[in-house]
Amino acid sequence: MSASFQCISPVDGRVYVERPLANASAIEAALAKSVAAGAGWRATPLDERRAVLTRAVEVFIAKGVEIAQELTWQMGRPSGQTPGEVRGFADRATHMIAIAPDALADLQPAAKDGFRRFIRREPHGVVFVIAPWNYPYLTSVNAVIPALLAGNTVLLKHSHQTPLCAERYAEAFREAGLPEGVFQFLHMTHADTETAMRDARVGYVAFTGSVAGGRAVQHALSDRFIGAGLELGGKDPAYVRADADLAHAVENLVDGAFFNSGQSCCGIERIYVHDSLYDRFVDGFVALTKQYRLGDPTRADTNLGPMVRGQAADFVRGQIAEAVQQGARALIAPQDFAADQKASPYLAPQVLVDVSHKMRIMSEETFGPAIGIMKVSGDDEAIRLMNDSEYGLTAALWTRDADTAARLGAQLETGTVFMNRCDYLDPALAWTGVKNSGRGCTLSSVGFEQLTRPKSFHLRVAT
């Protein structure tokens, strides 16, 4: 009997999905099939690849209601919010399909008499995608669709918390007519995942997950000369300048901190507010936070669901308790949220003031519904504190002055700078991080560069 794993739903603690783990022979068969399918897929004209993938997106959207419901049960996001992930998946996939002809076109240097010269983007071969549970489609689509567009085959290993997502991909591709073996998924142990990465048939690894997971990927590939895209953690800051639209900043930053129960790599985890707005900002932030409804995510009136598991919620509880012991003030009474239960995934949101960067709540990734807010005297102090982090995924500036936002953004050590918004990916822009937030890039035309290698053609056509 083969080993198996269980997806325990954070909604009610029951076993929602149980699946067998791939054994060594299944992994070997999948790798062999990926390689065998590669030549035919690579030779398929781009227009045909685009047509197949467009059909797959249409199949996916047509089943969006069921897919959204599954998401709620697998990872706990409220049912009123999970349909947004289906739409986001479609938007990103559609954009990457649309820009593929230009992004994958040969690069032509200046003409040179007697020569034909160009640079072609060649697929890596087998792209191994390792995806997380928190945004299971929005993270994986960044690599899966462009990898296939570029002529690669894809092997997907999804989180054991969201196994149905891998199966939904396979279902959509099968119904769209994608040739067998071009896309496959495997439910695997961590050890087998590392072994597969080391296999010579894997040409590129696209990983989204924790910093520790990213280090494990680098270690597994240390003896290989292949690329790896690493989209890791964040401790993303926001700065509310003196000229900000206060109501807009409050509304958007509460959402940026607490959407998906704060389980977003690019969610807002620390906020710096100009002293002229600080008191009003904190009052507004707390008032709006108190309006959240924590509870059963399958209910239509719930807008804050459980965290993925009790241990994750306990980690956040520990950060909060430690900060309070060190002098922070917690402005939300957990007892005001009836569903909040110790040792359970259900955790009330928390707003902390009188915080400092000596506290883990302001320096260590929280990945939960807790936020620290600090008062600053101006731009210089805000930029210094925003950059005082081992992470660098996104940063958000709240101001009415776009020129100032661009100037300050140039000083920020992040992959993306937002003005008057946060916690969002625009597929036309490169999604990337610096420092411990990772390396590489997905989305935009630049994302295709990661999933291909350049091959130069230098043809003498006359003597």
Question: Comparing C-alpha atoms, which of 436, 439, 391, 415 is closest to residue 221?
Answer: 439
Residues 16-41 as b or e (16 or more Cβ within 10 Å = b): bbeeebbeeebbeebbebbbebbeeb
AA letter at 330: A
Residues 6+ apart with CB under 8 A from 282: 273, 331, 351, 353, 373
Whether 301 and 337 have beta carbons less than 8 Å apart is answered as no
Cα(290)–Cα(331) distance, rounded to whole angstroms?
Answer: 10
Structure tokens that stand for 426 in this block: 């625009």
Which active-site residues does the annotation give? 231, 265
Q: 440, 415 in Cβ contact below 8 A?
A: no
Candidates 108, 206, 110; CA nearest to 150 is: 206
346, 294 contact by CB (below 8 A): yes
125: left (phi over 0), alpha (psi -120 to 50) or beta: left
Tell me if residue 110 falls in helix, strand or coil: coil
Tell me how far apart the alpha carbons of residues 264 and 369 are, in angstroms, rounded to a whole number.
10
Distance CA 265, CA 415 (A): 12
Of 21, 8, 304, whose CA–CA distance to 187 is shortest?
21
